[in-house]
Amino acid sequence: MAPAILAQVTGSPLHTSMDTIFISELRIETRIGIYEREKQVPQTIQLDLEIGLRGEHAAHSDRIEDTIDYAEVVADIRKLFAERHFALLEHAAESIAQLVINDFKAPWLRITIAKLAPLAGVKRLGVTIERGKRQ
């Protein structure tokens, strides 16, 4: 079935538009993990975030008030890791997701969080989560 016909049949557009901002390769020194050494010795984690924006307001207004200020997002994530110890990457990712959704009103986000060189012969290991709904 052709795309135009499919759109007519389902009654929904093929492409929904959502602008996103991204934060790539944010590195944070923190204590994270379940093993004693991980609880005592800080290690580097790397974060990649894609954050959905509501509407296209900033694209038209050119005002920071009409978007999510990524500098504030980074500062709040750094503060989160300074104040808390996480046993699991999954829980850390979920905490970041809740922070961004609740405090910055993001409708959707994807987060990848990884430990760098955590094991011999392993460059990165981690988890990716996606929360919210693309509009």
Residues marked as catalytic: 115
Residue 50, classed as helix, strand or coil, is strand
Tokens of 50: 């894609």
Residue 126: how many other CB atoms lie within 10 Å: 19
Pair 67, 21: CB distance under 8 Å:
yes
3-state SS assignment for residue 38: helix
